[in-house]
Amino acid sequence: MRYLVISPGYPSENDKYNNGFVHSRVKLYLNKSLDVIVFSFTKGDLRKYEYEGVTVYTGGKAAYVKFLSENSFDKYLVHFAYKKVMNPLLKIYPNAKMVIWVHGAEALGWYRRLFAFNVKKPHRFLGYILLDTIQLNFMHKLIVSNYDITFVFVSLWMKNILEHDSHSVGKIKKYTIIPNVVDDEIFVYKKKLKDDRLNILNIRSYQSKKYATDLMVKAILELSHEPFFDKLKFNLYGDGRLFDKTLKPLRNFENVNIFRKFLNHNEISEAHKKNGIMLIPTRQDAQGVSMCEAMMSGLVPVTSNNTAIPEYVNNDCGYLANNYRELAIAIKNMYYNSEEFLKKSKNAHNFIAKKCAPKIVTKQEIELIKGE
């Protein structure tokens, strides 16, 4: 059996973070002896490269059509079912067996992204509304079609949202829910000590308000009024267009360490070892992979009670907050109750290990891929 993974972008030596979660899957497939290669739908002429043992073809629409026409596979594994990606595949191989992973960007109604609206550039958001409406209409047609498709969602929330926003409630014929994998060989569990609760970590992109870094800042400012604040240490990593503006209110605090950089997986793992709490609010997440990676390492998540997050965090292993004050209260609670911190730390690892570890997730995905 030969399999083709199709993704709008894939890691390379010059762009190591481009849809890395797809690459993580492919490496696990290869380790299980699946015959799989990748097509990365980008721009330009057809090109081929190798990345960490994975064979990748890449190019624009013409290159994509040429590649599909000259190479057939037993099954097509598609991430992000964008119209421009799916139409050539469906035209050339209308009877193809397909597995489609739904991640969110291609399946959410524009009104769920109002936090991204920029009053200074309204035309951009209007353009997004148009493209999003076209995409959701396409998803509806895909769902109600007779094509041989199995949909994969990383959360029940994501499945319900796609159904609702594409006006397809109850119409998805074949689907399953499989989380994004969290590699327990990279994010190794290390038993936390009581003092680890004083070290608080955040690793985020500052490119969008989606990641709620502004709520993190408000929570830290709220904590600054507490008598124990100076005993806490905050380690904040990331970059993006909102970086300077968002973090400006924290610049004068000696116990807030700000690092303008992105971290690779090994660097993230090292940061996990030096911290005990992951302060990671969000406005929208289909899973929250960065949060799950921290939980695998034994950090206690302090996060937001919205979207898919409650499927990955409960009161036994973390804190679900409805506003920035509740984020601060969670950290205050652990400061005064170290035993609670230690208990939640162990539970966080156990909960995510049972849900997202490679031996769990990869087994589910490979059974799905090999199945008829």
- Segment 278-316, tens digit of pLDDT: 999 999 999 999 999 999 999 999 999 999 999 999 999
pLDDT at 136: 94
pLDDT at 59: 97
Q: Residue 138, Cα to own-chain centre: how many angstroms? A: 23
Residues 175 and 199 placed together within one structural domain of the fold: no
**How many whole angstroms separate alpha carbon 278 and alpha carbon 200?**
6
Would you call 39 helix, strand, or coil by DSSP? Answer: strand
Residues 152 and 237 placed together within one structural domain of the fold: no
- Residue 338, classified by CB atoms within 10 Å of its CB into exposed (0-12), middle (13-18) or buried (19+), is middle
pLDDT at 265: 86
Residues 203 and 69 placed together within one structural domain of the fold: no
Average pLDDT over residues 332-355: 98
Least confident of 43-52, 100-109, 267-276, 354-363: 100-109
pLDDT at 105: 83
Average pLDDT over residues 76-96: 96
Tally of domains in the chain: 2
Average pLDDT over residues 264-281: 96
Average pLDDT over residues 122-135: 84
Is 186 within a domain?
A: no
pLDDT at 117: 64
pLDDT at 19 over 90: no
Residues 262 and 339 placed together within one structural domain of the fold: yes
Range of the domain at 61: 2-181+358-370
57 with 37: CB under 8 angstroms?
yes
Is 61 within a domain?
A: yes
Phi and psi angles of residue 104, each rounded to the nearest 5 degrees, phi first: 135, -50
Residue 119 — very low, low, confident or very high, per pLDDT cuts 50/70/90?
A: low
Residues 117 and 173 placed together within one structural domain of the fold: yes
Residues 9 and 63 placed together within one structural domain of the fold: yes
- Segment 215-253, tens digit of pLDDT: 999 999 999 999 999 999 999 999 999 999 999 999 999
Residues 351 and 363 placed together within one structural domain of the fold: no
Whichever domain contains 137, its CATH number is: 3.40.50.2000
pLDDT at 372 over 70: no
Specify the DSSP element, H or E, that contains 141: helix 122-144
Is 187 within a domain?
A: no
Average pLDDT over residues 80-88: 95
pLDDT at 161 over 90: yes
Instruction: State the virtual CA torsion across 246, 211, 300, 261 in degrees, nearest 10.
Output: -60
Residue 265 vs residue 73, higher pLDDT: 73
Residues 39 and 113 placed together within one structural domain of the fold: yes
**pTM attached to this predicted model:** 0.89
pLDDT at 125: 77
Residues 153 and 224 placed together within one structural domain of the fold: no
333 with 340: CB under 8 angstroms?
yes
Is 96 within a domain?
A: yes
Residues 155 and 282 placed together within one structural domain of the fold: no
